[in-house]
Amino acid sequence: MTSLTENAALTSRRSMLCGLAVAMVVPGGLAACSTTTSTPSTGGTTGGGSTPTTGGTGTTGGAASGLAALADVPDGGGLIVESAGKPLVLTRTGETVKAFGAACPHQGTTVGAPKSGVITCPNHGSQFSATDGSLKKGPATKGLTEVPVKVADGQVVMA
């Protein structure tokens, strides 16, 4: 039987090794080894982790009353948000906002925020139209699935 001190040392080493392994493989993946829970920031965007950043190409946990504020979704671009534990990519053209499941149909990796009208998977380079989620370039064999959203009171919400 191991003592409490030995258990703490093993847990600490295990956490460190897990963190190092994940950090080397997955950008922003240190949260995968965390034993604590953090609340995502609202109103800001994060680039794959839990640290708020600025700009329109990151992720956010969504605002308290919606997925994101309309003002936080860059016109002509978009961002990644989370809804019910699943990533969504929001795209915006003027006052029109669309949402697509952000898991690449190829292997499930979360795609990046749209740039120049294209949503790209960082793993293998599959590309999708930011307008309708359709497949532009593989290895994925189908497009992203649209998720119904609407704008209400300046917030992007599930429709």
Which tops the pLDDT comparison, 153 or 1? 153
Per the CB < 8 A criterion, the answer to whether 14 and 34 are in contact is no
What pLDDT was estimated at residue 65? 56
Give dist(CA 65, CA 43) in Å, integer: 11
pLDDT in tens, 21-70: 434 444 444 334 333 333 333 333 333 333 233 333 344 444 445 899 99
- CATH, range 42-158: 2.102.10.10
In sequence order, what are the residues at sequence separation of 6 or more whose Cβ sits closer than 8 angstroms to the Cβ of residue 50? 31, 38, 40, 41
The per-residue DSSP string of 55-71 comes to: SSSSEE---TTSSEEGG
Give the residue extent of every domain in the chain: 1-37, 42-158
Residue ranges with strand state E in 29-117: 45-46, 52-53, 59-60, 68-69, 78-83, 86-93, 96-101
Give dist(CA 1, CA 17) in Å, integer: 23
Q: Which of 148, 123, 121, 118 is nearest to 133 (CA)?
A: 118
pLDDT in tens, 80-108: 999 988 999 999 998 899 999 999 999 99
pLDDT in tens, 113-159: 999 999 999 999 999 999 999 999 999 999 999 999 999 999 999 98
Q: The pTM is what?
A: 0.60
Which residue matches tokens 């690449």?
104
CA torsion angle for 64, 73, 150, 66 (degrees, to 10)? 0
In sequence order, what are the residues at sequence separation of 6 or more whose Cβ sits closer than 8 angstroms to the Cβ of residue 56? 45, 72, 73, 74, 77, 78, 79, 113
